[in-house]
Amino acid sequence: MITAPEVLETVRLTLRRPVLSDAEAISEYATDPEVTRYLSWHTHRSAGEARALLERCLKSWSSGEDFCWGITIKPTDRVVGTIDCRVEPPVATVGYVLARPFWNRGYMTEAVRAVLAWASQLPGVYTVGAFCDIENVASTRVLEKAGMSREGFRRRYAVHPNISLEPRDCYGYAKVRGT
């Protein structure tokens, strides 16, 4: 079974395993329709939904199937976003969300780089990938600045329920070991 570090440190961020008491902070951005626009889950309506999400994250962490870190900006410990990594060798897949007041400051690029560095070293993992809706220009910039390459166009690849219940076109990104 794959295990993950409970904390990943960068120059400006601490990525840490979330705790249930983070639900209120997560609820602040998970209820923002602009933040959740391109996510695979519906915009939350309450802190209870954030708590349920955290419970699923913690269960997935314990099973070793998916690792989610809360993103905090040093020196605070308040979660302003999350980043997760699903490990299914030979591939690991990254996804993320960040509260709107923290956009355009390089925080998500920094977080993605940290998770890429960790996942790229896992035994049996040769590709770390991500996908994003073709209209999500900010996310394409994050992935490219983090060192991932656009590998293709995936037609009707993912449902983003806050836009449409129909699968939407996405770009696939990857960082391949040794490149």
- Which residues face 94 on adjacent strands? 85
Instruction: Give the lowest-confidence range in 53-62, 87-96, 118-127, 132-141.
Output: 53-62
Go through the domains of the chain in sequence order and give each one's CATH number: 7-126 (3.40.630.30)
- How many angstroms separate the Cα of 38 from the Cα of each of 4, 11, 56, 80? 26, 28, 20, 17
Q: Is the pLDDT score of 17 beyond 70?
A: yes
| pLDDT for the residue numbered 65 | 83
| pLDDT for the residue numbered 178 | 76
The pLDDT tens digits of the residues spanning 129-148 come to: 999 999 999 999 999 999 99
The number of C-alpha atoms within 13 Å of 53 and in the hemisphere containing its C-beta is: 26
User: Against a cut of 0.85, is the pTM above it?
Assistant: yes
| pLDDT for the residue numbered 46 | 85
| pLDDT for the residue numbered 2 | 87
The pLDDT tens digits of the residues spanning 37-60 come to: 999 989 998 888 999 999 999 999
Residue 179 — very low, low, confident or very high, per pLDDT cuts 50/70/90? low
Describe the strand order of the beta sheet including 91-98 as a list of residue ranges.
7-9, 13-16, 66-73, 79-88, 91-98, 127-133, 167-176, 149-159
